[in-house]
Structure 1
């Protein structure tokens, strides 16, 4: 089955600009992407913050004084124990990221989801067809520690922010299947708008993942190195699209497209033209 390929800018364009920041999302829109991929956590005051980790990452973050955050300090910088005002005061871009040498250092902060959506929606006339793939960062062992004890609190906060966005432009994904189950339940009840849901996994098989989930998601999103043609075939037989994460080498993108994937998530949306040419 031949399907059009969905390209997603991972954390905006982490390979080019500081991840999960408004400049990175706006930059990603300049390339042929279909979705902006991002992550959300909650602050102490239950604001929805765009951040991959539920803490201040020492790899690229600095205190308001300019001092670099140390690895040993991360556990005391739990976003769920900090107000958004405190979170925003940390810089997450000036130091750059040693794992992404092409990334341009710049002053940047962790934005609110509402702030990020507002900035991107101002570009809708220029780029009418892009959507958002929003990962709700959640895991059971963190319940009550770096996130609320109940998943409904987290999900409700996210969907409250999404209420003014066209549901057709939204994918919600998570490694935590309790999150996806609750979202599906609320969608079926008509409480949440019907968005697309994506099951994130690392190395897990398709069948055990679907059994655990209890319903067929729109997307199955595994770590790309664990993906096989057999897994793709199982998904396609069930009408599920396969969008692996996170592929940065052009040769890997081409190989996966030949294998039959339906999408590519990449830190380098500037490399997509090489795939399409």
Structure 2
């Protein structure tokens, strides 16, 4: 009788494990190798814009990498910088913006209607001479998702993953962005509304936002962006949990870093490899994906 009861408990326990939250239920399987267009396709199109995302899709990436900021009226938008960037943005009137003027244009201090008026695609970007120029704007994340999903369907393309970075740091709390919990809640509000959670990875240098995600949204994959030379174990100790992805600067990738990460069950996806030589070297080291401004080089790499 004891053995029968014990066996029954074991069966029930196994069934409960299978029916509870799991990767198979909440997450779509990650690509065997993740080709990620940095800020869409920054080297070829204006960064963090809908045209950049469509370009990356046309090139065949598995993953769209992008940056998330919050406006004063709580809209989640795609932007890397805390402020309007005078180096490649123009005023709503199409005029140059001085560095001094830009320093008074924090996205978190403006409503989205105002942010949207800036031209982020017409000015020549000296760092990316191949970038196609066209008048475009800072989009809301919700609009980007709608556009991407519609574009994929129209082009008969498979689903893509969204690797979204929370642009935050302790010094900017409630000045350049919300506190970590409110930031994450606003971001996840959009993701859940658009029903793309299975295809989302949230990345950050700010371990606080990753910790909030781990605690409140454990079904969401996380990626720890790293630009220090600390051992993997030390960085993970500070983070407090093991994320899905370990994402170091490409110069930090070594055989031991890859092995240590794999031994801990993490994928390694470095940033930002922009030459065929860099891409080939990283692939030879056994990484699981690469983030690049030039997704055309990524998809062409053997």
Q: Who is 2:171 aligned against? A: 141
Q: Which residue of 1 aligns with 2:182?
A: 153
Which of 195, 198, 209 lines up with 1:168 in the alignment? 198
Q: Deviations over 1:50-71 (max 9, x none)?
A: 1001210011011011111122
C-alpha distance in structure 2 between counterparts of 1:201 and 1:78, whole Å: 25
Query: Per the alignment, in what secondary structure is the counterpart of residue 210 of structure 2?
Result: helix
Q: How far did residue 11 of structure 1 move?
A: 0.4
Which protein is bigger by CA-based radius of gyration?
A: 2
Which of 114, 120, 135 is 2:148 aligned to? 120
Over residues 65-106 of structure 1, what are the superposed CA-to-partner deviations in whole Å (9 max), with x where a residue is unaligned? 111112222220000101101100110010031100000111
Task: Give the Cα–Cα distance (whole angstroms) in 1 for the partners of residues 165 and 157 of structure 2.
Answer: 22
Equivalent residue for 2:264, pick from 234, 238, 255: 238
Select 1:197's aligned residue among 222, 229, 250: 222
Unaligned runs of 5+ in 1: 189-193
Match of 2:115 among 84, 87, 93: 87
Match for residue 186 of structure 1 among 216, 222, 226: 216
The equivalences for 1:7-46 within 5 A come to: 7-46=35-74
Q: For residues 143 and 204 of structure 1, what CA distance do their matches in structure 2 show?
A: 26
Q: Distance in 1 between matches of 2:171 and 2:75?
A: 21
Q: What residue in structure 1 maps to residue 130 of structure 2?
A: 102
SS at match of 1:40: strand
Report if aligned partners of 2:213, 2:220 keep a CA contact under 8 Å in 1. no
Q: Assess if the C-alpha contact under 8 Å between 2:46 and 2:133 holds in 1.
A: yes
- Aligned twin of 2:294: 268
| CA distance in structure 2 between the partners assigned to 1:19 and 1:166 by the alignment | 22
1:112 CA displacement: 0.3
Q: RMSD between aligned alpha carbons? A: 1.2
**Residue number in structure 1 paired with 2:75:** 47
Counting helix residues as a fraction of each chain, which structure ranks higher? 2
**For the Cα contact (< 8 Å) 1:32–1:272, is it kept in 2?**
no
- Supply the distance in 2 between the matched residues of 1:166 and 1:102 (Cα, whole angstroms): 32
Q: Given the two structures, how large is their TM-score scaled by the length of structure 1?
A: 0.94
Displacement of 1:173 after TM fit?
Answer: 0.5
- What is the deviation of 1:181? 0.3
**Which of 65, 74, 93 lines up with 1:65 in the alignment?**
93
Structure 1 counterpart of 2:282, from 256, 259, 267 = 256
Quick one: distance in 2 between partners of 1:151 and 1:55? 19
TM-score, normalising length from structure 2? 0.86
Shift of 1:127: 1.7
Unaligned runs of 5+ in 2: 1-30
